[in-house]
Amino acid sequence: MEIQTIQKYIHTSPRKLRLVTDMIRKIAPAQALSVLKVVPKDAAKDLEKALQTVLANAKVAGMDESKLAFAKIEINESMKMRRFRAGTRGRVRPYKKRMSNIKIVLSDDFNLKSPASPRGEKRGEQISNGSQKRISQAKTKTEDVRSEKKIEKKEGGRAESSE
């Protein structure tokens, strides 16, 4: 079972939130809450509030807090507030204040894939049989090339002709 929360229009840039999110992505949500309390960044406060919300939602749904794991943590860019600052010679210099959306999904299913999949597919996607065949063929081709290079190195680096 999955439980989620979405926090919108947070007045912190997505880049700053992602720095803090990467610290907690691979640990348990209960531990992540204690880690966020001691992180000396303002973005940690926003992330802590969102995490408290999703843990409360899980508790209301009757899920055991010790069995929960992060299924997905997304930090997306929201609207940008356009502001202007005075420039030289009476001109105006525009800048943007960036906002973020946080989406946290918790799951009690332990069969989740790792966040960084070795084949590059997204978490939760299934690989088709055709893709699996292409991947295995590519692996065998690279292994063949590597073994040929090893043989050439052993023979002195040059292939000798039989003439």
DSSP-derived secondary structure for 82-98: EEEEE-GGG-EEEEEEE
pTM, 2 dp: 0.65
Query: pLDDT, tens digit, for every residue of 29-81?
Result: 999 999 999 999 999 999 999 999 999 999 999 999 889 999 999 999 999 99
67 CB neighbour count, 10 Å cutoff: 13
Place of tokens 């055709």: 130
Superfamily of domain 2-112: Ribosomal protein L22/L17 (3.90.470.10)
Domain boundaries in the chain? 2-112, 117-154
Q: Return the half-sphere exposure (C-beta side, CA atoms, 13 A cut-off) of residue 109.
A: 12
The per-residue pLDDT for 133 is 61
Burial class (CB in 10 A: 0-12, 13-18, 19+), 50: buried
For range 21-30, the mean pLDDT: 93
Q: Return the half-sphere exposure (C-beta side, CA atoms, 13 A cut-off) of residue 154.
A: 6
The per-residue pLDDT for 1 is 87
Place of tokens 């209301």: 60
- Lowest-confidence segment of 50-59, 85-94, 99-108, 110-119 by average pLDDT: 110-119
The per-residue pLDDT for 50 is 96
Q: Return the half-sphere exposure (C-beta side, CA atoms, 13 A cut-off) of residue 7.
A: 22
Backbone angles phi, psi at 26, to 5 degrees: -105, 10
Selected residue with higher pLDDT from 128 and 44: 44
Are the beta carbons of 71 and 107 closer than 8 angstroms? Answer: yes
pLDDT over 70 at 140, yes or no? no
